[in-house]
Amino acid sequence: MTDQNQTEHPQIYLISPPQIDDGFDRALATILDSRPIACFRLALAENDESRIMRTADRMREICHARDIAIVIERHALLVERLGLDGVHLSDPSARVRDLRKALGREAIIGVHCGASRHAGLVAAEAGADYISFGPVAPSALGDGVVAGEDLFSWWSEMIEVPVVAEGGLTPALVGTLASSTDFLGIGDEIWQAENPLEALNALLARLD
């Protein structure tokens, strides 16, 4: 994942649903073949290691066949083992420096920091490749505190580390945040729809 000029549109960062059904592979492949996607996060609620590994193997094949990076949420020890590109940490207090030493300089390490400017700065200084803030609207993500547009504006003006906006995105919020975020983290907004690609296109209509 790389930063971008803020005069350009934010890139799309897809986030999997917490549970993946048999039709998800095809839905994901369809989206990856239809729009530029910067990264895919495997964010399973599943705790069974064997199931996580089997799912991650399938997702890695789909993403890497299209030269798209794939990170896994929480399970840092599986990154090298499964040939993934990095890890997304849901806990801003995680030891980013230790993980960097363990995973190497090329691995992607992202940290979700809720709506906390301080947590974002600490993670960025520790070597995170990107920071995610959210939810950007009332949501079950994190502690529910909403990350406002002012946080993204400040971050984009003051900090070079790329920032992801996620959690409760709407077409209106996409338009509002487009100039102050590097990536739009999109997950539940589309996967619950009958046609995820159509839902994604509708969500991003203001950028197109």
Q: Which domain CATH number covers 160? A: 3.20.20.70
Total tally of structural domains belonging to the chain? 1
Is 208 part of a structural domain of the chain?
A: no
The per-residue pLDDT for 61 is 98
Is 18 part of a structural domain of the chain?
A: yes
- Residues 177-187 as b/e (b if ≥16 CB within 10 A, e otherwise) read bbebbbbbbbb
Q: How many CB atoms lie within 10 A of CB 18?
A: 13
Query: Whole-model pTM?
Result: 0.94
Q: Which pLDDT band holds residue 182 (cuts at 50, 70, 90)?
A: very high
The model's pLDDT over 103-156, given as tens digits with 9 standing for 90+, comes to 999 999 999 999 999 999 999 999 999 999 999 998 766 677 899 999 999 999
Domain extent, residue 196, equals 11-203
- 137 within 8 A of 174, measured Cβ to Cβ: no
**DSSP H or E segment with residue 155:** helix 149-158
